[in-house]
Amino acid sequence: MDILDDESKTWWLICPSNHTKRLKLTLEKLSLYNHQRKILPLEEDNGKLAIPLKYEKFQDVLNKDEELKSIIEDFNVTIELKYLPPQKSNKLKPRDKLCESVRELFLRKGLVFKEDLYQDLPSHWEKHGDLVLLSDQCFLSEEWLHVGNELWTVTAEALGAKRLGKKSAIRDNDFRSPSVCLLSGVDGWVSHVDNGITYTYDVTKCMFSSGNITEKIRVGALDCSGQTVVDLYAGIGYFVLPYLVHAGASILYACEWNPHALVALRRNLAINQVDKRCTVYEGDNKMFPHKGIADHVNLGLIPSSEGAWPVACAALHSDHGGWLHIHGNVASSKKTTDEDQIRTQHTP
């Protein structure tokens, strides 16, 4: 007596093993393959395999798709609702889930999903909380226009996000602004925790570099208690916050001229509860008014911050000097040469 109810069972296509690969590929193309189970051998029927099936869609597709109908008839395939022992969940990877979701979207719209569109799906992305940022090397085909904005909803859901954006090259302007288009969602504000510090920023207006974490940790490990710090390229607070939160700087002067970065900077100072120890200067750092006050001056601009070195040197204590923290792109073979050049040009 069969005591298992139908909810304990799965629909399977029972197929000779030598035809399994073709049938599986056909089912995947038609979004009929059940990825929650794996293909299993049938102990009671040697030489046949059970292929998991999305049965609720199967009959409708079978009546319309001649290739599937031919395979079922020619390969002596049977359809059975039966219980097979459960195995570990075969959880889909995000990109596989995306492939399946967009195929189903095309089918719902009555459109043909062409095989070359697989190559136009994203293979990598950045995740910022509930926002996923795609590169500019995906969704380039005009075929995507036929399914409308529902494509972005489906993509966000498959990638585990609520909002979706697409980026391209950094804009060629003085602010090095990102070029990001928000595809779904109300705004681009996200939060990121880095070395115990919370950064919030609008990805459509500001960039965040996770690659400078080593330098942030180095700066945060300094003992700046009782000291004054000047950051001539504050941005959203990349180094301002480590100096204040971890290094314990008593006073910090932050210079920034990008209006979008300034909004994020002020938010980040407040969120991390260090705004009382920071004075923000809006505008060109060459106009920074204070001289002879700083123990540390941060110059976090790449490829070069050389234009601000005179201001930075003037900001250091006139009697005992201080530290310049200079960032830049330097070839390892030129390191000694560049250090000597800096000393020659800017040491009295």
Residue-level pLDDT, tens digit, the chain, 348 residues: 233 334 456 788 888 888 888 888 888 888 888 877 888 887 666 678 888 888 877 878 888 888 888 888 888 888 887 766 655 555 678 988 899 899 889 988 888 888 889 999 999 999 998 999 999 999 999 999 999 999 999 999 999 999 999 987 555 555 556 678 999 999 999 998 999 999 999 999 888 877 688 999 999 999 999 999 999 999 999 999 999 999 999 999 999 999 999 999 999 999 999 999 999 999 999 999 999 999 999 998 888 899 999 999 999 999 999 999 998 877 665 555 455 555 555 554
Q: Which amino acid is at 34?
A: N
Supply the pTM of this predicted model: 0.69
Give the three-class secondary structure for 134: strand
First to last CA, the chain: 97
pLDDT for res 1: 29
- Answer yes or no: are the C-beta atoms of 36 and 2 closer than 8 Å: no
Task: Please state which CATH class domain 212-326 belongs to.
Answer: alpha beta
Strands 48-52 and 10-16: antiparallel
Domains of the chain, residue spans: 10-82, 94-186, 212-326
Do 188 and 202 touch, CB atoms closer than 8 A? yes
CB 77 within 8 A of CB 18: no
User: How high is the pLDDT of residue 255?
Assistant: 98
Name the nearest CA neighbour of 47 among 11, 84, 15, 12: 15
Q: Is 311 helix (H, G, I), strand (E, B) or coil?
A: helix
CATH code reported for the domain at 10-82: 3.30.70
Give pLDDT, residue 341.
Answer: 58
Q: How far apart are CA 108 and CA 69, in angstroms?
A: 20
Q: With the C-alpha atoms ordered 86, 87, 93, 96, is the resulting torsion angle positive or negative?
A: negative
Q: What CATH class does 94-186 carry?
A: alpha beta
Q: How far apart are CA 261 and CA 29, in angstroms?
A: 46
